[in-house]
Structure 1
Amino acid sequence: MTPFDFEEPIRTERVLMRLLTEADIDAVYSYQSRDDVCRYLLFEPRDRETVAAKVREHATHSRLEKDGDYLQLAVERVADGRVLGDMYITVKSAENQTLELGWTFHPDAHGQGFASECATALLRLAFDRMGAHRVIAELDPRNEGSIRLCTRLGMREEAHFREDLWFKGEWADTGVYAILDREWRALGA
C-alpha cells in the first residue's frame, strides 16, 4: 500500500476535507457535546476543553503509512465555510492493505448527502491513490443512518459481533461493513 501524506485539502462538489485547526474547536464542540451525536460513539458528550485537546492532537496527524496512522478531517461546506462534521480514516493493517473509515456530523447536516460525498472521496483515496485492498467501517448496529451510508457506498455487512464491547455501562454489539478494491472498481465509482 502506498503511503499518503495529507498536503492539501480534498475537495468534492460541496465540501472541503482538511486538517482540523484551533479555529474549529467551537464547531466540533457544537456536535461532540450532544447526547444524540455521541449515542453510538465510543465517548460520552465532551466538554469544550476535551474537544480542544482532541482537535489539537488530531491536527498533528497527517500521514497514512503504518498501523494506527490516521487522519481526522474537518468537513467544511464550500458555500459558507461552516464545519459540518469530521471524517476519519486510519490504517487498520498495512500488511493486509486494510483501511477503516468513520464519520461524525452535526445533526443539521444529516440527510443531505454530505457523509456519502465525503466517504466516496475517501474510498477513492484509499483504493485509487493508496492501493488499499479492503476498507471497513465498524459501527454500532443500532446506528441505522451509518448502516444506510455503508450500503450506499457499496459496502456489505461482514460481521455482527454480539455483546463484544462494554459500552457506556452495558454490553453492546459491533457491526463490520467492508468493501474490497475489486468491488469498488465494479461499481465504477
Structure 2
Amino acid sequence: MAVAPIQTERLTLRPLAESDIDDVWQYQQLDEVLLYIPWPKRDFDEAAAHTRKRAGLHTLDTDNSAIFLACELDGRVIGDVMLRVSSVETAELEIGWVFHPDVQGRGYATEAAAAMQRLAFDGIGAHRLIAQLDPRNTASARLCARLGLAHEGTLREAYYEKDADGNGEWSDSGLYGMTAHDWRALEDTPAPHTP
C-alpha cells in the first residue's frame, strides 16, 4: 500500500524513512517513553536497525503487516503512528502511536491518530480498529476516549517485559476498540455548537 503524505492541521504524516533515525532516537532512547511501550532499551545502533526495519514496512496485506508514518512538525519528526493488520479475514487493524515527551499535551498525538483512524475506516475499509496499551498509560487511554475507542477490557499479564539485564515482569494490556458502525455513527454526529 502506497500511502501519500497526509497533511493534518499542523503535521505532515509520511512514511517513516531511514533518514529519520536521528529524530526517532531522540524519543526512542528515553526511559519515560519506554515505560509504556514494549520496546527494550537499545543503544543507538540497535535503535537505528529498529527504525530501518519499521521504515521498511509499508503494506497492509497479511496478518501482522504494518505501516509506520513519521509525524513531522517544522521539519522534525516528533513521533510516529502505526497501523497493523490484526486480521485480514475480519478486517481488524491495530493503531498505535509514540511521541517525544517534549511535545506531549499539545494535541499532536490526537491529531495524528485521528488521521490514521480516518485512513483505517475511510481509506482501507477496516471493520474494526483496536488499540492495546499499558493500563497505567492514562494519557493514551484518554486519547483512545477522544477517538471514540471504547475500553473493552484488560488482558491480565498479557506480555512479558525484559530490561537490559534480562530481568522482567508480566504486564497487563488494556484493549480499546471501535467498529466501522461506531465510526459511521461518530462521523454522522454533528460537532457541538460553541458560541
TM over 0.5, yes or no?
Answer: yes
Q: Aligned letter for 1:49?
A: D
Query: 3-state DSSP class of the match of 1:40?
Result: coil
Q: Which residue of 1 aligns with 2:82?
A: 88
Q: State the match for 1:73 in structure 2.
A: 69
Q: CA deviation at 1:164?
A: 2.7
Task: Work out the number of aligned pairs and report it.
Answer: 183
Residue of structure 2 in register with 1:165 after alignment:
159
1:61-120 CA distance string (max 9 Å, x none): 22212211101111101xx21111111111110100100001100001101111111111
Structure number, greater radius of gyration: 2
TM-score (norm 1): 0.92
Hey, what does 1:132 align to over in structure 2?
126
Tell me which moved more, 12-21 or 151-160: 12-21
8 Å Cα contact 1:29/1:47 also seen in 2: no
Give SS of 2:47's match.
helix
Report the equivalent of 1:42: 38
* Separation (CA, whole Å) in 2 of partners of 1:50 and 1:149: 29
Please report how far the alpha carbon of residue 167 of structure 1 lies from its aligned counterpart in structure 2 after TM superposition: 2.2
Percent identical among aligned pairs is 48
Q: Counterpart of 1:164 in structure 2: which amino acid? A: A
Equivalent residue, structure 1, for 2:4: 8
Alignment correspondent of 1:180: 179
Equivalent pair of 2:29/2:42 in contact (CA under 8 Å): yes
CA distance in 1, matches of 2:140, 2:53: 25
Q: Is the 8 A contact 1:8 1:18 kept in 2?
A: yes
Deviant stretches of 4+, over 3 Å = none
CA distance in 2: counterparts of 1:121 and 1:7, whole angstroms? 12
Q: CA RMSD in A?
A: 1.3
2:185 partner letter = A
Deviation at 1:22, TM superposition (A): 2.4
Answering whether residue 103 of structure 2 is matched by residue 104 of structure 1, we say no
The structural deviation recorded for 1:163 is 2.1
SS of the equivalent of 2:57 reads coil
Question: In 1, distance between residues paired with 2:24 and 2:136?
Answer: 23
Q: Which residue of 2 aligns with 1:56?
A: 52
Do structure 1's residue 26 and structure 2's residue 22 form an aligned pair? yes
Counterpart code for 2:174: G
Structure 2: gaps of 5 or more residues: 163-167, 189-195
In structure 2, how many angstroms separate the alpha carbons of the residues matched to 1:160 and 1:118? 25
Structure 2 counterpart of 1:122:
116
Q: Contact 2:3–2:15 (CA<8 Å) still a contact in 1?
A: no
Structure 1 residue 7: Cα displacement: 3.9
Consecutive unaligned residues in structure 1, runs of 5 or more: none
Secondary structure of the equivalent of 1:132? Answer: coil
Q: What's the secondary structure of 1:188's corresponding residue?
A: helix
